[in-house]
């Protein structure tokens, strides 16, 4: 799920479904910033990111290798890039060979620069109390790639203060040049001053060394580990990991403060598990482009069917009130990085060259991404050969090697027969529809699949009028990928996005009532929600409301469907778009908790543009104890 969101409100301009105004994947045929489901090969976690003189440097934890079982990795690899696409690896820049007191695990490195020297701060030996050999160390070098040497010959911090485990450190240098180190696991966070030598600790005006700065705890996704601090518009932002690192509860939260020492007030979820894309994203680094106002979050994640962690990054943006717009993990690959890391091949000969994914002619070769999409928009450039056909696979499961060795759908370009085709496989082939089209061999065509419930549309070239529209509900969800059938083929600019959007990720333009928060975000995601989380308006009266700015991408008629959670304290609402009411009043009261999808209105939009979708409380059922609205997702289904 190669990464980057496009900005400037150009998102989903030609999609058939609801898009977000900001912070979502851009069009597949627009230039992406990087390529691939992960940006470096191999298993890594806990990335810190820095930019020194226009070069990006990433400092991750390396996965345990053969011979290290039971003790953890004993060395650090780092990576550099000038374009965020092509990365150079520097192996073993710190290891037990050049830091004598490292006895077992070495993790969570963090880079810094000051006065011509480069520093890496790291955690080692996993101590759990004072007086043990381990904690936070520091190494120094004359160049960012090393070689690094132990700066003080011992740990810099090897005590437990305020309950904060000495690990997961991050150096922040403020505008006045003062350097600080935030650190801490086990649910607590400290900040210390670093002296000008960057290898000794200073004191605060009150004579203390360690200040507790754990974001305020409210029992809902409280701080666990991995602090990262940055400053924007005079506001100090702390991102941090909550949940359990080994499962899908792991996520990135953020808090803000007007002071370097807090208090840091939690503001919400920044990044979380997406059941269509990846699991357990967290332990992040933050970087701003040195030449633009673009901000990026680097983090680790797990593919849906893997326990190993890999590195990714995404662009993120801010609302006008300085809040962070939650990040969607994009699924993109433009193959500019020269590899197909993250793709699983089933038959055929696959290569990456010229910024394209190439496959030799084969009776049914396919390459798939580890995703699980149901409702989706899938775009790609497809270059078919002169024989057979080539195209896109979606909602695929149980893949194997063989022409029809999977369950799912396939839409292809058939040059010999001058047609577009779609069919379904179940270890055999059933053709669903074809459409005549003038096609030339070795010519690139932009293809888009829109699958919404049982409705499937195939677009080729013209993104406004589908070549094929079919109705079939055999396969409801699964992997996406590319395929050839007796044809050479090239694929490029892969972009996949869900057409069902979580309300927490929409841009909130106004709220009323007591509280507007995420729900399903306690110790674990609510598995009954489409992506794990929803939005709750804890309303207290009629006319309380919540609105979302929605990008309606095409002038046409839509069925507006809303996923909700009904219950005993739910209210009634009326949908309005740009302050015009649509559809009937919806009653969300239920004697038990239920998840339902409501068809709230049929609306014809005369133009493609941003619309204000308001959910306004109109009353409550006589049996209801409150007026609350709990919204999971919104989607537009073309009529």
8 A C-beta contact, residue 126 and residue 116? no
Which of 258, 223, 254, 224 minimizes the C-alpha distance to 239?
Answer: 254
Q: Is 247 among the catalytic positions?
A: no
Determine how many CB atoms are found less than 10 A away from the CB of residue 151.
21
Token pair, residue 396, equals: 């695929």
> How many whole angstroms separate alpha carbon 482 and alpha carbon 368?
7
First to last CA, the chain: 30
Nearest 10 degrees: Cα torsion 93, 94, 100, 106: -150
Cis peptide before 147, with omega less than 30 degrees from 0? yes
d(CA 550, CA 352): 37
**Rounded distance between C-alpha atoms, residue 3 and residue 301, angstroms:** 12
Q: Which of 46, 370, 381, 502 is catalytic?
A: 46
All residues at 6 or more sequence positions from 16 whose CB lies less than 8 Å from its CB, including other chains: 377, 450, 452, 457, 499, 553, 554, 636, 638
Of 77, 225, 314, 332, the catalytic one is: 225
**How far apart are the C-alpha atoms of 211 and 201, rounded to whole Å?**
12
Long-range contacts of 250-253 (CB under 8 A, 24+ apart): 250/280, 250/281, 250/282, 250/283, 251/221, 251/280, 251/281, 251/282, 252/281, 252/282, 252/284, 252/297, 252/299, 252/327, 253/215, 253/221, 253/223
Asked if 225 is an active-site residue, the reply is yes
Tally DSSP H helices, then E strands, for the chain.
0, 48
- CA atoms of 173 and 188, how far apart (whole Å): 21
- Burial code of 245-268, b = ≥16 C-beta within 10 A, e = fewer? beebbbbbbbbbbeebebebebbe
- Give CA 89 to chain center in angstroms: 24
- Burial label for 604, CB within 10 Å (0-12, 13-18, 19+), is exposed
Encoded tokens for 389: 């056909």
Q: How far apart are CA 100 and CA 110, in angstroms?
A: 19
Backbone angles phi, psi at 503, to 5 degrees: -65, -25
Write the DSSP assignment of 90-137 as a string of letters: EEEEEETTTSTT--S-EEEEEEEEETTEEEEEEEES---STTSS-EEE
263 preceded by a cis bond (ω within 30 of 0): yes
CA distances from 253 to 101, 232, 243 (A): 34, 17, 10
Residues in the chain: 639
Instruction: State the catalytic residues.
Output: 46, 225
């Amino acid at each position: 799920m190669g990464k980057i969101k496009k900005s400037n409100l150009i998102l989903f301009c030609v999609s058939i479904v609801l898009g977000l105004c900001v912070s979502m994947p851009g069009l597949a045929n627009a230039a992406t910033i990087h390529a691939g489901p992960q940006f470096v090969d191999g298993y890594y976690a806990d990335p810190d990111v820095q930019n020194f003189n226009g070069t990006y440097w990433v400092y991750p934890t390396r996965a345990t290798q053969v011979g290290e079982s039971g003790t953890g990795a004993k060395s650090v690899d780092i990576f550099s890039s000038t374009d965020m696409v092509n990365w150079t690896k520097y192996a073993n820049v710190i290891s037990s060979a050049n830091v004598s007191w490292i006895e077992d695990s070495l993790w969570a490195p963090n880079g810094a620069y000051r006065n011509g020297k480069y520093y890496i701060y790291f955690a080692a030996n996993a101590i759990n109390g004072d007086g043990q050999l381990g904690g936070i160390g520091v190494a120094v070098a004359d160049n960012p790639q090393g070689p690094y040497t132990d700066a003080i010959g011992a740990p810099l911090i090897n005590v437990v203060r305020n309950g904060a485990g000495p690990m997961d450190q991050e150096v922040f240098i403020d505008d006045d040049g003062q350097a600080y180190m935030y650190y801490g696991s086990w649910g607590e966070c400290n900040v210390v001053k670093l002296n000008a030598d960057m290898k000794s600790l200073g004191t605060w005006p009150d004579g203390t060394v360690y200040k507790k700065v754990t974001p305020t705890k409210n029992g809902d996704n409280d701080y666990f580990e991995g602090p990262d601090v940055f400053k924007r518009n005079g506001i100090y932002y702390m991102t941090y990991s909550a949940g359990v690192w080994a499962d899908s509860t792991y996520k990135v939260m953020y808090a803000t403060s007007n002071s370097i020492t807090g208090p840091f007030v939690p503001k919400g979820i920044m990044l979380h598990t997406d059941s269509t894309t990846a699991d357990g994203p967290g332990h992040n680094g933050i970087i701003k482009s040195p030449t633009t106002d673009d901000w990026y979050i680097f983090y680790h994640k797990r593919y849906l069917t893997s326990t190993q962690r890999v590195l990714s990054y995404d662009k993120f943006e801010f609302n006008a009130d300085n809040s962070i717009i939650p990040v969607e993990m994009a699924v993109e690959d433009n193959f500019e990085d020269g590899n197909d890391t993250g793709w699983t091949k089933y038959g055929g000969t696959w290569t990456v060259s010229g910024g394209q994914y190439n496959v030799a002619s084969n009776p049914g070769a396919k390459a798939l991404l580890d995703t699980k999409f149901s409702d989706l928009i899938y775009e790609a450039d497809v270059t078919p050969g002169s024989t057979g056909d080539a195209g896109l696979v979606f909602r695929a499961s149980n893949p194997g090697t063989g022409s029809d060795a999977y369950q799912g759908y396939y839409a292809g370009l058939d040059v010999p027969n001058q047609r577009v085709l779609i069919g379904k496989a179940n270890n055999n082939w059933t053709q669903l529809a074809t459409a005549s089209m003038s096609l030339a061999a070795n010519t690139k065509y932009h293809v888009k699949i829109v699958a919404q419930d049982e409705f499937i549309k195939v677009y080729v070239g013209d993104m406004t009028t589908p070549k094929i529209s079919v109705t079939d509900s055999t396969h409801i969800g699964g992997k996406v990928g590319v395929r050839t059938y007796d044809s050479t083929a090239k694929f490029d600019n892969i972009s996949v996005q869900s057409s069902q959007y979580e309300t927490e990720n929409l841009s909130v333009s106004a709220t009323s009532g007591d509280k507007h928060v995420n729900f399903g975000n306690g110790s674990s995601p609510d598995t009954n929600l489409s992506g794990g989380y929803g939005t709750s308006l804890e309303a207290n009266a009629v006319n309380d409301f919540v609105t979302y700015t929605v990008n309606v991408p095409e002038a046409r008629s839509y069925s507006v469907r809303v996923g909700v959670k009904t219950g005993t304290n739910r209210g009634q609402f009326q949908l309005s778009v740009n302050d015009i009411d649509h559809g009937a009043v919806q009653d969300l009261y239920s004697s038990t908790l239920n998840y339902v999808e409501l068809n709230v209105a049929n609306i014809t939009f005369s133009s493609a543009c941003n619309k204000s979708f308001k959910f306004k409380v109109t009353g409550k059922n006589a049996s209801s104890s409150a007026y609350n609205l709990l919204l999971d997702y919104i989607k537009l289904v073309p009529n």
